[in-house]
């Protein structure tokens, strides 16, 4: 029976709309956790209740001549605002949005140098109110603003988005921050695009939020239709049928103005499906190759006037499963949030998993905390090759051949890739495209040469996204964690650790966790995060891929 007929037979669409937890579990002790994550199905219908508040907040921002808006968040708290800011048309006088979802000290230091505290607002976003990345960044920027403006005036520059009653909600009052905007407790982070986590930053930038929500509401209605007429059920069935035919690498290609939407889809799909040894592997494609291996299923998300991508999609349909989504204008992105959320929820049913939890994310967080507290040591390097400290772990450690070149070490890792496997290059480097371009190019070269799907990820962002899939999904990944021994550092007020210590501990915690799971993982610690060091490493990766 194909996936569409399974959805029809199970009445999956109507049961999802009715928040029927038995769609995902019949275990009594698991029902409550599922029920607490089903509040996203009518967010667009309810969103207009918040328009007046958002308009008032936007007017306050304009009246204070705010030039920069800094979002301190990660994962579901940051990716939707990133998409909306880059996709939607904004007024010419919109403040510059800086989505700071990293603990990279040089990135934080450079941003701080570029801002004026008297014309900057900060949005501190954390659903749980306990997430280490945004709280650490808040401590840094709050001390900076306090020093420049005084504590009371500085507090007026900070807004909070969190669930009611969280530790951050209480801290907001203690620290005299301007306002707390409430999340929806029954909506998980990656399903929160149409809550305050996504809508408030968009409104502050001057986006037409009612138009966005109107498109989303239209898709909400469509996603309540029977499966044969339902755009989300169609997408879910296509993804599952492709997966059943071993096309489990969901390759997402977007029109250039929609590129950031791929990051949001990547998190939604990877964190929702990658568990229990199963999972769809999202691969973001910015090139346009003419051929793929048989493990690829291609999703094209394009603007109607993008004829080049339309022609590429037509060629892909001749050889691979290919699902094409066409947007008439940027505001249709609101509808796509809804389509994909419903599709992934239905896909979870088809895969026999709970798409709303993330059971393996906590493991890397715990390892990071233990390393910071000195309760465990990071796995040690076993070789210094051309200045790069190499640490194989998990399945790559047992038969380590002790190569004498960096390319040799990389070739050993790459030779463990089998035909259906994928490579993930996990970089803890500044998100500077000029710096990363040689490495991105080397990863593309490798993918073409070896025929394996290759993913390029930025840490620590990926820990809240594909990190779940890496540890809980199928054992089909080979992971290269790339770090750098940089000296730039920023103290974290109130903490014993610095930002650099946290940044490195996050990479080391992931290395330890992947190793404990027996994954094929290797850390490459560069002597510096300089263009020269990154380019040299990229050259070694190209040599190894030949």
pLDDT reported for residue 243? 97
Same structural domain, 59 and 200 = yes
Answer with the residue of higher pLDDT: 29 or 329: 329
Say if CB 402 and CB 529 are below 8 A apart: no
Residue 457 has pLDDT above 80, yes or no: yes
Tens-place pLDDT, residues 300-312: 999 999 999 999 9
Query: How far apart are the C-alpha atoms of 459 and 426, rounded to whole Å?
Result: 6
Q: Are residues 197 and 236 in the same domain?
A: no
Same domain for 23 and 96? Answer: no
Q: What pLDDT score was predicted for residue 410?
A: 98
- Domain span at residue 465 reads 361-545
Q: Is residue 287 very low, low, confident or very high in pLDDT (cuts 50, 70, 90)? A: confident
Asked, as a colleague might, if the bond just before 46 is cis with ω within 30 of 0, I would say: no
The closest alpha carbon to 140, from 517, 489, 382, belongs to 489
pLDDT band of 290, cuts 50, 70, 90: confident
Both 22 and 124 in one domain: the answer is no
List all residues 6 or more positions away from 33 whose beta carbon is below 8 Å from its beta carbon: 354, 356, 357
pLDDT at 155 over 90: yes
Residue 425 lies in a domain: yes
| Residue range 423-444: mean pLDDT, rounded | 97
Mean confidence (pLDDT) of the chain:
96
Minimum mean pLDDT among 94-108, 249-263, 283-297, 450-464: which range? 283-297
Residue 286 has pLDDT above 90, yes or no: no
Q: Does residue 235 sit in the same domain as residue 207? A: no
Q: Structure tokens of 259? A: 């590129």
194-214 tens-digit pLDDT:
999 999 999 999 999 999 999
Residues 238 and 198 reside in one and the same domain: no
**9 domain residue, yes or no:** yes
Q: How far apart are CA 208 and CA 202, in angstroms?
A: 8
What is the length of the chain? 546
As given in the structure block, the two tokens for residue 97 are 């949005």
Please tell me the distance from the alpha carbon of residue 282 to that of residue 190, in angstroms, as a whole number: 15
Let me know if residue 280 belongs to a domain.
yes
Place of tokens 């025929």: 451
Phi, psi of 30, rounded to the nearest 5 degrees: -100, -15
Query: What is the 8-class DSSP label of residue 420?
Result: T
Strand 520-526 and strand 388-394: pairing? antiparallel
Identify whether residues 81 and 199 lie together within a single domain: yes
Strands ordered across the beta sheet of 68-72:
96-100, 68-72, 120-125, 158-162, 179-182
Do 198 and 343 fall into the same domain?
Answer: no
| Residue 492 region by backbone torsions, left for phi larger than 0, else alpha for psi between -120 and 50, else beta | beta
What mean pLDDT is predicted for residues 333-362? 96
Count of domains for the chain: 3
On the question of pLDDT at 1 being above 80, the answer is no
Residues 281 and 319 in one domain: yes
- Residue 373 sits in the same domain as residue 407: yes
What's the pLDDT band for 149 if we cut at 50, 70, 90?
very high
pLDDT tens readout for residues 44-57 = 999 999 999 999 99
Number of H helices, E strands in the chain: 22, 15
Residue 218 lies in a domain: no
Kindly state whether residues 28 and 125 are assigned to the same domain.
Answer: no
pLDDT score of 57: 97
Residue 437: predicted pLDDT: 97
The dihedrals phi and psi of 385, each to the nearest 5 degrees, come to: -115, 110
Q: Do residues 362 and 338 touch, judged by C-beta distance below 8 A?
A: no
Reduce the DSSP state of residue 359 to 3 states and report it: coil
The H or E element that residue 482 is part of is strand 477-484
The interaxial angle of helices 433-450 and 531-545, nearest 10 deg, is: 0
C-alpha closest to that of 51 among 192, 194, 161 = 194
Residue 508: inside a domain, yes or no?
yes
Question: What pLDDT is attached to residue 184?
Answer: 96
What separation in angstroms does the CA of 415 have from each of 221, 412, 450, 476, 529?
49, 5, 10, 13, 26
Mean pLDDT of 131-147: 97
Q: CA-to-CA distance for 110 and 106, rounded, in angstroms?
A: 6
CATH number at residue 479: 3.40.50.10490
Q: 3-state class of 63 per DSSP?
A: helix
Place of tokens 């233990």: 370
Q: How confident is the model at residue 30 (pLDDT cuts 50, 70, 90)?
A: confident
From 62, 341, 38, 80, select the one nearest 200 (Cα to Cα).
80
| Residue given tokens 């691969």 in the structure block | 283
Confidence (pLDDT) at 291? 87
Per-residue pLDDT band at 501 (split at 50, 70, 90) = very high
Residue 501 located in a structural domain: yes
Q: What is the average per-residue pLDDT within 149-160?
A: 97
Residue 522 lies in a domain: yes
Q: Do residues 383 and 303 both lie within one domain?
A: no
Average pLDDT of the residues in 425-449 = 96
Q: Is 298 helix (H, G, I), strand (E, B) or coil?
A: strand
292 contacts 246 by C-beta, under 8 angstroms? no
Query: pLDDT at residue 27 above 90?
Result: no
Mean pLDDT computed over 524-543: 98
User: With pLDDT > 70 as the criterion, what percentage of the chain qualifies?
Assistant: 100
Residue ending a domain, among 289, 321, 351, is 351
pLDDT in tens, 76-99: 999 999 999 999 999 999 999 999
What's the CA gap between 74 and 130, in Å, rounded? 12
């Amino acid at each position: 029976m194909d996936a569409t007929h399974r959805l029809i037979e199970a009445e999956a669409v109507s049961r999802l709309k009715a928040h029927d937890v038995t769609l995902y579990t019949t275990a009594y002790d698991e029902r409550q956790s599922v029920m607490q994550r089903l509040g996203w199905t009518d967010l667009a219908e309810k969103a207009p209740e918040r328009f007046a508040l958002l308009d008032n907040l936007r007017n306050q921002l304009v009246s204070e001549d705010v030039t920069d808006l800094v979002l301190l968040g990660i994962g579901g708290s940051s990716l939707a605002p990133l998409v909306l800011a880059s996709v939607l048309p904004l007024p010419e006088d919109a403040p510059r949005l800086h989505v700071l979802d990293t603990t990279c000290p040089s990135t934080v230091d450079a941003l701080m140098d570029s801002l004026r505290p008297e014309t900057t607002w900060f949005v501190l976003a954390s659903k749980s109110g306990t997430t280490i990345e945004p709280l650490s960044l808040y401590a840094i920027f709050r001390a900076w603003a306090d020093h420049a403006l005084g504590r009371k005036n500085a507090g007026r520059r900070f807004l909070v988005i969190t669930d009611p009653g969280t530790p951050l909600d209480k801290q907001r009052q203690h620290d005299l921050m301007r306002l707390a905007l409430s999340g929806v407790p029954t909506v998980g982070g990656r399903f929160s695009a149409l809550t305050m986590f996504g809508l408030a930053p968009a409104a502050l930038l001057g986006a037409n939020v009612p138009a966005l929500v109107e498109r989303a509401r239209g898709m909400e209605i469509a996603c309540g239709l029977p499966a044969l007429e339902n755009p989300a059920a169609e997408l879910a069935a296509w993804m599952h049928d492709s997966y059943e035919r071993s096309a489990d690498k969901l390759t997402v290609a977007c029109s250039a103005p929609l590129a950031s939407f791929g990051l949001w889809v990547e998190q939604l799909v990877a964190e929702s499906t990658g568990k229990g040894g199963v999972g769809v592997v999202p691969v973001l494609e910015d090139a346009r190759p003419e051929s793929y291996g048989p493990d690829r299923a291609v999703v094209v998300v394009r603007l109607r006037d993008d004829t080049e991508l339309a022609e590429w999609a037509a060629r892909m349909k001749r050889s691979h499963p290919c699902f094409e989504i066409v947007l008439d204008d940027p505001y249709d992105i609101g509808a796509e949030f809804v389509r994909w959320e419903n599709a992934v929820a239905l896909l979870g049913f088809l895969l026999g998993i709970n798409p709303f939890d993330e059971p393996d994310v906590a493991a890397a967080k715990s390892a990071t905390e233990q390393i910071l507290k000195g309760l465990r040591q990071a796995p040690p390097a076993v070789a210094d090759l051309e200045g790069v400290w190499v640490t194989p772990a998990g399945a790559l450690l047992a038969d380590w051949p002790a190569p004498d070149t960096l390319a040799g070490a990389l070739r050993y890792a790459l030779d463990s890739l089998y035909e259906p496997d994928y490579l993930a290059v996990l970089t803890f480097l500044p998100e500077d495209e000029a710096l990363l371009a040689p490495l991105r190019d080397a990863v593309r070269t490798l993918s073409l040469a070896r025929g394996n799907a290759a993913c390029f990820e930025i840490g620590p962002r990926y820990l809240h996204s594909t990190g779940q899939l890496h540890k809980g999904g199928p054992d089909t990944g080979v992971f290269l964690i790339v770090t750098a021994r940089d000296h730039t550092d920023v103290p974290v007020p109130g903490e014993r650790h610095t930002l650099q210590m946290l940044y490195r501990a996050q990479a080391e915690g992931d290395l330890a966790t992947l190793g404990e799971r027996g994954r094929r993982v290797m850390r490459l610690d560069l002597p510096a995060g300089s263009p020269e060091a990154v380019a040299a490493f990229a050259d070694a990766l190209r040599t190894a891929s030949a």
